[in-house]
Amino acid sequence: MAFPSTSCSVFAQNLSVSFSARQVINNLSVEISSRNITVIVGRSGVGKSTFLRSLNRLNEEISGSRTEGTVKLSFKDGTVDIYRDRFPIEELRRRVGMVFQTPHPIPTSIGKNLSLPLKLVLNLPSRKIDDRIEKALTIVHLWSEVKNRLKEPALSLSGGQQQRLCLARTLALEPEILLLDEPTASLDFKASEKIEDLLSELKRDYTIISVSHSIGQARRIADNVLVMKEGSIIKVLAASQFQEKGTLEDLLNEVF
């Protein structure tokens, strides 16, 4: 594969990840376009979350993990070869924001869930923090629900509200690449719809890579679908290839 093109924001080549002796990502190579929504589908345990974590070096937090191969990311101000260049890991994780499969608010107030990272990571002054908090909570359609409860514990929110809070916390740090691990898994139909609409808006500014178990969701939001099997990407589908009813289902039936 050649050096990533200008429209590509993630370029992985011969990427392998193992935990202790077990290889979970196997020689994976892929290019992911910028300002698009790429949805990753595949059976439970094929390595979807591990692949997402390899894009901001989060697997390194797991003892016994080992990563080989290349991941290059294009940011506004240049390309970083994340396993070779000396790029600060905190900055990498800010620019490549991740929202996890299960929401995990910090066990403190709703407001502090947003203000603490803004203070610690970006060192923003208080007046700017308040603005960013309101903006991020508005984007995820949570502001009206929590604006009078910012001092209440984040864990008092419902699962779906916690998921939106965690998304707001990541967006408040203004990442360039957004990794979403089943972002609507704990949401009801209406809340899922809101998040899907939101993602379609956000792709104007962000490169979004989202894991989903829902074919309907992939069809509604994806520009590209990556199909994973046994730690590799075995198919890349453009939107036009899976809009016709049946195509994606047939493909997944083959894979599953």
- Residue 46: name its binding partner from ligand ATP, Mg ion, none (Cβ under 5 to 8 Å by kind): ligand ATP
Which partner in ligand ATP, Mg ion, none is near 200 (CB below 5 to 8 A by kind)?
A: none
**From the list Mg ion, ligand ATP, none, partner contacted by residue 62 (C-beta under 5 to 8 A by kind):** ligand ATP
Give the span between the Cα atoms of 37 and 237, in whole angstroms: 12
Beta-ladder partners of 31: 11
Report residue 237: phi and psi, to 5°.
Answer: -115, 135
In terms of CB distance, is 17 or 146 closer to ligand ATP? 17
Q: Which does 216 bind (CB under 5 to 8 A by kind): ligand ATP, Mg ion, none?
A: none
Site for ligand ATP in 94-123 (CB under 6 A): 101
Kindly state the number of chain residues that form the binding site for ligand ATP, as judged by CB under 6 A.
12
Using the rule CB under 6 A, is 19 a contact of ligand ATP?
yes
Spatial CB neighbours of 222, under 8 Å, sequence gap ≥ 6? 37, 38, 39, 239, 242
Using H for helix, E for strand and C for coil, what is the string for the chain? Answer: CCCCCCCEEEEEEEEEEEECCEEEEEEEEEEEECCCEEEEECCCCCCHHHHHHHCCCHHHHCCCEEEEEEEEEEECCEEEECCCCCCCHHHHHHHEEEECCCCCCCCCEHHHHHHHHHHHHHCCCHHHHHHHHHHHHHHCCCHHHHCCCCCCEHHHCCHHHHHHHHHHHHHHCCCCEEEEECCCCCCCHHHHHHHHHHHHHHCCCCEEEEECCCHHHHHHHCCEEEEEECCEEEEEEEHHHHCCCCHHHHHHHHHC
Among Mg ion, ligand ATP, none, what binds residue 175 when CB lies within 5 to 8 Å by partner kind? none
Binding status of residue 49 toward Mg ion by CB under 5 A: yes
Cβ 233 to ligand ATP shortest distance, Å: 12
x/- binding map, residues 34-73, to ligand ATP, per CB under 6 A?
--------x-xxxxxxx-----------x-----------
Look at strands 65-75 and 8-19 and give their pairing. antiparallel
Report in angstroms how near the CB of residue 24 gets to ligand ATP at its nearest.
4
Tell me whether residue 48 or residue 169 sits nearer to Mg ion (CB atom): 48
Closer CB to ligand ATP, 154 or 251, in the complex? 251
Shortest Å distance, C-beta 166 to ligand ATP: 16
Instruction: Identify which of residues 61 and 77 has a Cβ nearer to ligand ATP in the complex.
Output: 61
- Beta carbon of residue 48, minimum distance to Mg ion (angstroms, whole number): 5
Provide, rounded to whole angstroms, the least separation between the CB of residue 62 and ligand ATP.
4
Q: Which residues bind ligand ATP (CB under 6 A)?
A: 19, 24, 42, 44-50, 62, 101
Positions that interact with Mg ion (CB under 5 A): 48-49
